[in-house]
């Protein structure tokens, strides 16, 4: 995938409501930095107030908008943190887990073959991460992430470089994914763009994909729908495969809430 060159424009007002009136929409939302603020500890991230209620409301209009949360977090964790279940679909661990309309979590068969290499990464981190140095290891079973937000920058850069070298030499089936202050080792097949393809197959080709995300791993999803959907970057302007942009998770929640209210109003008027 070539690097993006253009910066996205600001998302026009009421664009999602207009899109949903023209045909069904697959609304996909990243979690951290998109519907939850980035916080100092991953375990503390909670949905911005109002978004869960809005998604529950949207779930009443599945024929017009099918909603999904697409995240690097495991699905079980997303369900626990949001309190959402069958109201939305889920793609967890960068698309390595998928829960469609039936709620059952599916994992590609080839992921199991990466388990020995994931175990090698666990052992590497256990040997090399010093307690109290500001690092945090997040074990997602299907992947392992090194958070370094609270580590000394030089120490973080040195350890990340060593971790990438280790992956290259000892775990050829894994990729090194760089996100905001985190380096994650995960199977090379993991992709949020791939997750959107699976979710699209779940709902059908008539549904136009819309994706909100804020980080590097979201670029795969933006690129996947660049020519047939709506990609929305959340955050400061930067080159992106997304065409549109909003400033903050609060803006995302306002947009999703407005969409939920518009769907309810249309149903009342008999426009559903």
List the domains of the chain with CATH numbers.
9-108+190-268 (3.40.50.1000), 110-187 (3.30.70.1020)
- Helix residue ranges per DSSP H, 171-243: 192-203, 218-224
Q: What is the 8-class DSSP label of residue 130?
A: P
- Tens of pLDDT along the chain (272 residues) come to 666 778 999 999 899 999 999 999 999 999 999 999 988 777 788 999 999 999 999 999 999 999 999 999 999 999 999 999 999 999 999 999 999 989 999 999 889 899 999 999 999 999 999 888 999 999 999 999 999 999 999 999 999 999 999 999 999 999 999 888 899 999 999 999 999 999 999 999 999 999 999 988 899 999 999 999 999 999 999 999 999 999 999 999 999 999 999 999 988 886 55
**Host H or E run for residue 177:** strand 174-179
Instruction: Show Cβ contacts of residue 235 under 8 Å, excluding neighbours closer than 6 positions.
Output: 33, 214, 245, 247, 248
Give the global pTM: 0.91
Please name which of 103, 106, 88, 108 lies closest in space to residue 31, comparing C-alpha atoms.
88
């Amino acid at each position: 995938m070539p690097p993006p060159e253009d910066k996205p424009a600001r998302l026009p007002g009421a664009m999602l409501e207009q899109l949903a009136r023209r045909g069904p929409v697959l609304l996909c939302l990243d979690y951290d930095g998109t519907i939850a603020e980035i916080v100092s500890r991953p375990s503390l991230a909670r949905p911005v107030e109002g978004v869960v209620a809005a998604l529950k409301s949207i779930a009443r209009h599945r024929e017009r908008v099918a909603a999904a949360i697409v995240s690097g977090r495991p699905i079980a964790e997303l369900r626990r943190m949001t309190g959402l279940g069958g109201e939305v679909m889920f793609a967890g661990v960068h698309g390595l887990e998928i829960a469609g309309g039936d709620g059952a979590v599916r994992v590609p068969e080839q992921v199991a073959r990466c388990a020995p290499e994931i175990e090698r990464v666990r052992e590497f981190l256990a040997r090399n991460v010093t307690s109290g140095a500001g690092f945090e290891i997040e074990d997602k079973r299907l992947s392992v992430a090194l958070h370094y937000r609270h580590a000394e920058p030089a120490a973080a850069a040195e350890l990340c470089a060593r971790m990438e070298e280790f992956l290259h030499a000892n775990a050829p089936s894994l990729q090194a994914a760089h996100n905001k202050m985190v380096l994650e080792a995960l199977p090379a097949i993991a992709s949020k763009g791939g997750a959107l393809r699976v979710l699209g197959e779940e709902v059908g080709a008539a549904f136009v994909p819309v994706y909100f995300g804020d980080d590097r791993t979201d670029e795969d999803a933006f690129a996947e729908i660049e020519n047939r959907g709506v990609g929305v970057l959340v955050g400061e302007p930067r080159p992106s495969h997304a065409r549109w942009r909003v400033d903050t998770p609060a803006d995302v929640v306002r947009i999703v809430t407005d969409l939920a209210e518009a769907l309810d109003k249309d149903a009342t008027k008999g426009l559903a």
